[in-house]
Protein backbone atom coordinates (compact mmCIF):
# COMPACT_ATOMS: atom_id res chain seq x y z
CA UNK A 1 0.00 0.00 0.00
CA UNK A 2 1.41 3.42 -0.90
CA UNK A 3 1.48 6.30 1.58
CA UNK A 4 -1.19 8.09 -0.42
CA UNK A 5 -3.47 5.04 -0.32
CA UNK A 6 -2.77 4.55 3.38
CA UNK A 7 -3.67 8.10 4.35
CA UNK A 8 -6.75 8.24 2.12
CA UNK A 9 -8.03 5.05 3.73
CA UNK A 10 -7.50 6.52 7.20
CA UNK A 11 -9.42 9.72 6.39
CA UNK A 12 -12.16 7.80 4.58
CA UNK A 13 -12.83 5.53 7.55
CA UNK A 14 -11.22 2.44 6.04
CA UNK A 15 -8.54 0.18 7.47
CA UNK A 16 -5.02 0.55 6.03
CA UNK A 17 -2.19 -2.01 6.17
CA UNK A 18 -0.45 -0.17 9.03
CA UNK A 19 -0.56 2.98 11.12
CA UNK A 20 0.66 5.96 9.05
CA UNK A 21 3.82 7.64 10.37
CA UNK A 22 4.14 11.42 10.08
CA UNK A 23 7.22 13.63 10.35
CA UNK A 24 4.91 16.64 10.78
CA UNK A 25 6.76 19.86 9.92
CA UNK A 26 9.48 17.98 8.05
CA UNK A 27 6.88 17.20 5.36
CA UNK A 28 6.82 20.66 3.83
CA UNK A 29 6.56 23.31 6.56
CA UNK A 30 10.37 23.71 6.60
CA UNK A 31 11.00 23.49 2.85
CA UNK A 32 12.47 27.01 2.70
CA UNK A 33 15.55 25.90 4.64
CA UNK A 34 15.58 22.20 5.58
CA UNK A 35 17.41 20.97 2.46
CA UNK A 36 20.40 23.22 3.21
CA UNK A 37 21.43 21.13 6.23
CA UNK A 38 22.89 17.65 5.82
CA UNK A 39 21.71 16.34 9.19
CA UNK A 40 18.11 17.10 8.22
CA UNK A 41 18.53 15.78 4.68
CA UNK A 42 19.80 12.47 6.08
CA UNK A 43 16.55 12.07 8.05
CA UNK A 44 14.44 12.88 4.98
CA UNK A 45 16.38 10.37 2.89
CA UNK A 46 15.97 7.68 5.53
CA UNK A 47 12.25 8.40 5.78
CA UNK A 48 11.57 7.79 2.09
CA UNK A 49 9.21 4.85 1.70
CA UNK A 50 8.78 4.60 5.48
CA UNK A 51 6.82 7.68 6.53
CA UNK A 52 3.59 9.10 5.12
CA UNK A 53 3.57 12.75 4.06
CA UNK A 54 0.80 15.19 4.88
CA UNK A 55 2.37 18.05 2.97
CA UNK A 56 0.93 21.56 3.49
CA UNK A 57 -0.15 23.75 0.60
CA UNK A 58 -0.68 27.48 0.41
CA UNK A 59 -1.67 29.27 -2.81
CA UNK A 60 0.78 31.48 -4.68
CA UNK A 61 0.07 35.17 -5.02
CA UNK A 62 1.55 38.02 -7.00
CA UNK A 63 -0.43 40.62 -5.04
CA UNK A 64 -0.06 41.93 -1.49
CA UNK A 65 -2.46 39.97 0.74
CA UNK A 66 -3.36 40.56 4.37
CA UNK A 67 -5.94 38.71 6.43
CA UNK A 68 -7.15 36.85 3.34
CA UNK A 69 -7.96 40.05 1.51
CA UNK A 70 -6.00 41.93 -1.12
CA UNK A 71 -4.40 45.18 -0.08
CA UNK A 72 -3.18 47.93 -2.44
CA UNK A 73 0.63 47.75 -2.83
CA UNK A 74 1.01 51.37 -1.78
CA UNK A 75 -0.71 50.60 1.54
CA UNK A 76 1.86 48.11 2.85
CA UNK A 77 5.62 48.50 3.20
CA UNK A 78 8.29 46.20 4.67
CA UNK A 79 11.71 47.36 5.86
CA UNK A 80 14.47 44.93 6.86
CA UNK A 81 17.84 45.34 8.57
CA UNK A 82 20.47 43.18 10.25
CA UNK A 83 21.69 43.59 13.83
CA UNK A 84 24.26 41.03 14.90
CA UNK A 85 22.80 37.56 14.33
CA UNK A 86 19.26 38.84 13.93
CA UNK A 87 17.23 40.04 10.96
CA UNK A 88 14.50 42.57 11.77
CA UNK A 89 11.37 43.16 9.67
CA UNK A 90 9.33 46.31 10.21
CA UNK A 91 5.87 46.32 8.53
CA UNK A 92 3.84 49.50 8.02
CA UNK A 93 0.19 49.33 6.93
CA UNK A 94 -1.81 52.34 5.82
CA UNK A 95 -5.50 52.28 6.81
CA UNK A 96 -8.32 54.84 6.45
CA UNK A 97 -8.00 55.57 10.18
CA UNK A 98 -4.22 55.71 10.46
CA UNK A 99 -1.05 53.64 10.28
CA UNK A 100 -0.40 50.26 11.87
CA UNK A 101 3.09 48.89 12.51
CA UNK A 102 4.63 45.60 13.60
CA UNK A 103 8.15 44.33 14.21
CA UNK A 104 9.45 40.78 13.80
CA UNK A 105 12.85 39.14 14.30
CA UNK A 106 14.56 36.12 12.76
CA UNK A 107 17.63 34.72 14.53
CA UNK A 108 20.43 32.81 12.85
CA UNK A 109 20.25 29.08 13.49
CA UNK A 110 16.60 29.11 14.65
CA UNK A 111 14.25 28.88 11.70
CA UNK A 112 11.24 30.76 12.99
CA UNK A 113 10.07 34.36 13.34
CA UNK A 114 9.55 36.11 16.67
CA UNK A 115 7.01 38.94 16.99
CA UNK A 116 8.62 41.79 18.91
CA UNK A 117 5.86 44.34 18.40
CA UNK A 118 2.30 43.30 17.57
CA UNK A 119 0.24 45.02 14.90
CA UNK A 120 -2.39 46.22 17.39
CA UNK A 121 -1.14 47.77 20.62
CA UNK A 122 -4.52 48.97 21.85
CA UNK A 123 -8.19 49.33 20.98
CA UNK A 124 -7.61 52.33 18.71
CA UNK A 125 -5.30 50.20 16.57
CA UNK A 126 -8.04 47.57 16.33
CA UNK A 127 -10.39 50.24 14.99
CA UNK A 128 -7.80 51.11 12.35
CA UNK A 129 -7.65 47.49 11.25
CA UNK A 130 -11.43 47.22 11.09
CA UNK A 131 -11.46 50.19 8.70
CA UNK A 132 -9.46 48.32 6.03
CA UNK A 133 -11.47 47.77 2.85
CA UNK A 134 -12.29 44.13 2.15
CA UNK A 135 -11.13 43.06 -1.30
CA UNK A 136 -11.71 39.26 -1.40
CA UNK A 137 -8.59 37.25 -2.21
CA UNK A 138 -9.31 34.65 -4.88
CA UNK A 139 -5.94 33.08 -5.66
CA UNK A 140 -5.23 30.58 -8.39
CA UNK A 141 -5.41 26.97 -7.19
CA UNK A 142 -3.23 25.57 -9.99
CA UNK A 143 -0.27 25.11 -7.64
CA UNK A 144 -2.33 22.71 -5.52
CA UNK A 145 -2.74 20.29 -8.38
CA UNK A 146 0.91 20.63 -9.35
CA UNK A 147 1.90 19.77 -5.80
CA UNK A 148 -0.43 16.76 -5.73
CA UNK A 149 1.33 15.52 -8.85
CA UNK A 150 4.80 16.15 -7.43
CA UNK A 151 4.00 14.44 -4.10
CA UNK A 152 2.68 11.42 -6.00
CA UNK A 153 2.27 8.27 -3.94
CA UNK A 154 4.43 9.54 -1.05
CA UNK A 155 1.44 11.10 0.70
CA UNK A 156 -1.32 13.67 0.42
CA UNK A 157 -1.43 17.45 0.11
CA UNK A 158 -3.37 19.21 2.87
CA UNK A 159 -4.75 22.72 3.21
CA UNK A 160 -4.12 24.95 6.21
CA UNK A 161 -6.20 27.78 7.56
CA UNK A 162 -6.32 29.75 10.83
CA UNK A 163 -9.63 30.38 12.51
CA UNK A 164 -11.05 33.74 13.52
CA UNK A 165 -9.75 33.35 17.07
CA UNK A 166 -6.20 32.72 15.85
CA UNK A 167 -6.13 35.86 13.72
CA UNK A 168 -7.65 37.95 16.51
CA UNK A 169 -5.23 36.76 19.20
CA UNK A 170 -2.22 37.32 16.96
CA UNK A 171 -3.14 40.96 16.46
CA UNK A 172 -2.32 41.69 20.11
CA UNK A 173 -0.40 38.74 21.51
CA UNK A 174 -2.02 36.28 23.89
CA UNK A 175 -1.59 38.24 27.14
CA UNK A 176 -3.12 41.43 25.71
CA UNK A 177 -5.91 39.43 24.09
CA UNK A 178 -6.95 37.92 27.43
CA UNK A 179 -7.11 41.38 29.00
CA UNK A 180 -9.19 42.74 26.13
CA UNK A 181 -11.50 39.74 26.21
CA UNK A 182 -12.20 40.56 29.85
CA UNK A 183 -12.57 44.32 29.35
CA UNK A 184 -14.03 44.71 25.85
CA UNK A 185 -15.65 41.56 24.50
CA UNK A 186 -17.68 43.48 21.94
CA UNK A 187 -14.47 44.58 20.22
CA UNK A 188 -13.11 41.02 20.22
CA UNK A 189 -16.25 39.67 18.59
CA UNK A 190 -16.27 42.48 16.02
CA UNK A 191 -12.75 41.47 15.06
CA UNK A 192 -13.67 37.80 14.92
CA UNK A 193 -16.65 38.54 12.68
CA UNK A 194 -14.34 40.65 10.50
CA UNK A 195 -11.99 37.69 10.07
CA UNK A 196 -14.69 35.03 9.81
CA UNK A 197 -16.18 36.56 6.67
CA UNK A 198 -12.77 36.64 5.00
CA UNK A 199 -11.83 33.10 6.04
CA UNK A 200 -15.16 31.63 4.97
CA UNK A 201 -15.06 33.29 1.55
CA UNK A 202 -11.42 32.29 1.00
CA UNK A 203 -12.09 28.68 1.96
CA UNK A 204 -15.19 28.48 -0.22
CA UNK A 205 -13.17 29.83 -3.14
CA UNK A 206 -10.58 27.07 -2.73
CA UNK A 207 -13.16 24.34 -2.32
CA UNK A 208 -15.27 25.48 -5.27
CA UNK A 209 -12.13 25.31 -7.40
CA UNK A 210 -11.46 21.68 -6.55
CA UNK A 211 -9.14 21.92 -3.55
CA UNK A 212 -11.17 19.32 -1.66
CA UNK A 213 -8.72 17.76 0.76
CA UNK A 214 -8.00 17.61 4.47
CA UNK A 215 -7.71 21.11 5.98
CA UNK A 216 -5.87 21.76 9.22
CA UNK A 217 -7.67 24.47 11.23
CA UNK A 218 -5.34 26.30 13.65
CA UNK A 219 -6.27 28.49 16.62
CA UNK A 220 -8.56 26.72 19.13
CA UNK A 221 -5.72 26.25 21.64
CA UNK A 222 -5.94 29.95 22.54
CA UNK A 223 -9.26 29.32 24.29
CA UNK A 224 -8.48 26.04 26.06
CA UNK A 225 -8.34 25.65 29.86
CA UNK A 226 -6.79 26.95 32.04
CA UNK A 227 -6.80 30.20 30.05
CA UNK A 228 -10.53 30.18 29.38
CA UNK A 229 -13.44 27.98 30.42
CA UNK A 230 -15.30 25.47 28.22
CA UNK A 231 -18.16 28.01 28.08
CA UNK A 232 -15.86 30.62 26.55
CA UNK A 233 -14.30 27.98 24.28
CA UNK A 234 -17.74 27.35 22.85
CA UNK A 235 -18.28 31.05 22.17
CA UNK A 236 -14.85 31.69 20.66
CA UNK A 237 -14.20 28.43 18.82
CA UNK A 238 -17.26 26.25 18.33
CA UNK A 239 -19.60 29.04 17.20
CA UNK A 240 -17.12 30.08 14.51
CA UNK A 241 -15.21 26.95 13.50
CA UNK A 242 -18.36 24.86 13.05
CA UNK A 243 -19.17 26.99 9.99
CA UNK A 244 -15.79 26.11 8.47
CA UNK A 245 -16.31 22.42 9.23
CA UNK A 246 -19.77 22.46 7.64
CA UNK A 247 -18.39 24.24 4.57
CA UNK A 248 -15.64 21.64 4.21
CA UNK A 249 -18.15 18.80 4.43
CA UNK A 250 -20.44 20.48 1.91
CA UNK A 251 -17.67 20.21 -0.70
CA UNK A 252 -16.35 16.81 0.39
CA UNK A 253 -13.37 18.08 2.37
CA UNK A 254 -12.18 17.00 5.81
CA UNK A 255 -11.63 19.10 8.96
CA UNK A 256 -8.51 18.44 11.04
CA UNK A 257 -8.49 20.58 14.17
CA UNK A 258 -5.14 21.57 15.66
CA UNK A 259 -4.92 22.42 19.36
CA UNK A 260 -2.02 22.12 21.75
CA UNK A 261 -2.52 22.18 25.50
CA UNK A 262 -5.12 20.79 27.84
CA UNK A 263 -8.08 19.72 25.70
CA UNK A 264 -9.74 17.06 27.87
CA UNK A 265 -12.60 19.28 29.03
CA UNK A 266 -13.44 20.64 25.58
CA UNK A 267 -13.23 17.48 23.46
CA UNK A 268 -16.96 16.88 23.80
CA UNK A 269 -17.52 20.32 22.27
CA UNK A 270 -15.23 19.44 19.37
CA UNK A 271 -17.16 16.24 18.90
CA UNK A 272 -20.34 18.31 18.49
CA UNK A 273 -18.64 20.16 15.63
CA UNK A 274 -18.33 16.89 13.68
CA UNK A 275 -14.59 17.24 13.10
CA UNK A 276 -12.82 14.50 11.13
CA UNK A 277 -9.41 14.59 12.84
CA UNK A 278 -7.54 16.24 15.69
CA UNK A 279 -3.90 16.81 16.62
CA UNK A 280 -1.60 16.69 18.54
CA UNK A 281 -3.35 15.39 21.71
CA UNK A 282 -0.40 16.02 24.02
CA UNK A 283 -0.08 13.58 26.91
CA UNK A 284 0.38 14.75 30.51
CA UNK A 285 2.06 16.83 31.84
CA UNK A 286 2.06 19.21 28.85
CA UNK A 287 -1.42 18.04 27.89
CA UNK A 288 -4.03 16.40 30.06
CA UNK A 289 -5.38 13.44 28.12
CA UNK A 290 -4.33 10.00 26.95
CA UNK A 291 -5.19 8.68 23.52
CA UNK A 292 -7.43 6.09 25.15
CA UNK A 293 -9.43 8.86 26.87
CA UNK A 294 -9.60 10.89 23.66
CA UNK A 295 -10.99 7.90 21.79
CA UNK A 296 -13.67 7.35 24.42
CA UNK A 297 -14.85 10.97 24.05
CA UNK A 298 -14.52 11.39 20.28
CA UNK A 299 -15.69 7.96 19.21
CA UNK A 300 -14.52 5.53 16.57
CA UNK A 301 -14.79 7.83 13.52
CA UNK A 302 -12.43 10.72 14.35
CA UNK A 303 -8.79 10.33 13.29
CA UNK A 304 -6.48 10.84 16.27
CA UNK A 305 -3.12 12.34 15.28
CA UNK A 306 -0.25 12.45 17.79
CA UNK A 307 1.01 12.23 20.51
CA UNK A 308 4.82 11.88 20.65
CA UNK A 309 6.25 14.92 22.44
CA UNK A 310 9.00 16.74 20.52
CA UNK A 311 11.05 17.09 23.70
CA UNK A 312 11.42 13.31 23.73
CA UNK A 313 13.65 13.64 20.66
CA UNK A 314 15.73 16.20 22.53
CA UNK A 315 16.17 14.52 25.91
CA UNK A 316 14.71 11.00 25.68
CA UNK A 317 16.46 7.66 25.43
CA UNK A 318 15.77 5.20 22.65
CA UNK A 319 13.96 2.99 25.17
CA UNK A 320 11.70 5.90 26.16
CA UNK A 321 10.93 6.67 22.53
CA UNK A 322 10.12 3.03 21.82
CA UNK A 323 7.74 2.85 24.80
CA UNK A 324 6.02 6.11 23.81
CA UNK A 325 5.53 4.95 20.21
CA UNK A 326 4.32 1.50 21.23
CA UNK A 327 1.83 2.96 23.74
CA UNK A 328 0.58 5.59 21.29
CA UNK A 329 -0.08 3.01 18.58
CA UNK A 330 -1.77 0.57 20.97
CA UNK A 331 -4.08 3.24 22.43
CA UNK A 332 -4.61 5.37 19.35
CA UNK A 333 -5.47 2.59 16.92
CA UNK A 334 -7.36 0.30 19.31
CA UNK A 335 -10.88 1.45 18.41
CA UNK A 336 -10.51 3.83 15.48
CA UNK A 337 -8.16 5.51 12.97
CA UNK A 338 -4.80 6.81 14.17
CA UNK A 339 -1.77 8.56 12.69
CA UNK A 340 1.50 8.50 14.63
CA UNK A 341 2.87 12.04 14.74
CA UNK A 342 5.13 14.23 16.90
CA UNK A 343 3.62 17.26 18.63
CA UNK A 344 6.28 19.42 16.90
CA UNK A 345 9.65 19.00 15.19
CA UNK A 346 13.06 20.61 15.79
CA UNK A 347 13.78 23.83 13.91
CA UNK A 348 17.27 24.73 15.08
CA UNK A 349 20.53 24.25 13.21
CA UNK A 350 22.82 22.47 13.49
CA UNK A 351 20.76 19.49 14.67
CA UNK A 352 22.36 17.43 17.44
CA UNK A 353 23.34 13.87 16.50
CA UNK A 354 21.25 12.47 19.35
CA UNK A 355 18.13 14.21 18.08
CA UNK A 356 18.74 12.94 14.56
CA UNK A 357 19.19 9.37 15.82
CA UNK A 358 16.09 9.59 18.02
CA UNK A 359 13.93 10.74 15.09
CA UNK A 360 15.19 7.82 13.00
CA UNK A 361 14.45 5.47 15.90
CA UNK A 362 10.93 6.92 16.10
CA UNK A 363 10.44 5.95 12.44
CA UNK A 364 11.76 2.44 13.04
CA UNK A 365 9.49 1.94 16.05
CA UNK A 366 6.49 3.18 14.09
CA UNK A 367 7.15 0.53 11.43
CA UNK A 368 7.77 -2.18 14.05
CA UNK A 369 4.61 -1.63 16.09
CA UNK A 370 2.28 -0.17 13.46
CA UNK A 371 1.06 -3.31 11.67
CA UNK A 372 -2.72 -3.59 11.79
Instruction: Determine the average pLDDT of the residues in 304-326.
Output: 97
Average pLDDT, the chain: 97
Burial of 140 (0-12, 13-18, 19+ CB in 10 A): exposed
196-219 pLDDT, tens per residue? Answer: 999 999 999 999 999 999 999 999
Rounded Cα–Cα distance for residues 304 and 295 (Å): 8
Does pLDDT of 49 surpass 90?
yes
Does pLDDT of 311 surpass 90?
yes
**pLDDT at 292 (0 to 100):** 97
CA–CA distance from 148 to each of 53, 144, 158, 211 (Å)? 11, 6, 9, 10
Does pLDDT of 224 surpass 90?
yes
182-198 pLDDT, tens per residue? Answer: 999 999 999 999 999 99
State what percent of residues in the chain have pLDDT above 90: 98
* Cα angle: 149, vertex 155, 161; to 5 degrees: 85
Instruction: Determine the average pLDDT of the residues in 230-248.
Output: 98
Instruction: Determine the average pLDDT of the residues in 52-66.
Output: 95
Name the pLDDT band for 229 (thresholds 50, 70, 90).
Answer: very high
Instruction: Determine the average pLDDT of the residues in 339-359.
Output: 97
Does pLDDT of 86 surpass 90?
yes
Q: How far is CA 212 from the centre of its chain?
A: 18
**pLDDT at 288 (0 to 100):** 96
**Of 261, 300, 256, which is closest to residue 279 (Cα–Cα)?**
256
Burial of 83 (0-12, 13-18, 19+ CB in 10 A): exposed
Instruction: Determine the average pLDDT of the residues in 273-282.
Output: 97
Rg, the chain, Cα only: 21
Instruction: Determine the average pLDDT of the residues in 96-104.
Output: 98
Rounded Cα–Cα distance for residues 144 and 124 (Å): 39
Instruction: Determine the average pLDDT of the residues in 124-150.
Output: 98
What is the model's pTM? 0.96
Q: What is the DSSP string of 68-117?
A: TEE--GGGEEEEEEEETTEEEEEEEEEETTEEEEEEEEEETTB-SEEEEE
Omega cis (within 30) before 261: no
Contact assessment for residue 312 and residue 321, using Cβ atoms and an 8 Å cutoff: yes
Instruction: Determine the average pLDDT of the residues in 240-245.
Output: 98
Does pLDDT of 372 surpass 90?
no
Rounded Cα–Cα distance for residues 243 and 233 (Å): 15
Amino acid sequence: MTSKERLLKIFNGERPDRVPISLYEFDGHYDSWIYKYQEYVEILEYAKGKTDKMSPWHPDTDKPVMFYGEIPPEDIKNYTWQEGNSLYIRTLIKTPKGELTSLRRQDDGIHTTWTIEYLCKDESDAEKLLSIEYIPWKPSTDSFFRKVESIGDSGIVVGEIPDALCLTVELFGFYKFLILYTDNQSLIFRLMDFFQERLFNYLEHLLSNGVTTVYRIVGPEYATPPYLSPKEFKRLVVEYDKDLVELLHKYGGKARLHSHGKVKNILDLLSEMDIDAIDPLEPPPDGDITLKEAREILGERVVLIGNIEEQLFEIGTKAEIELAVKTAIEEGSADGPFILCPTAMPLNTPLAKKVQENIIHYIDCGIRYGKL
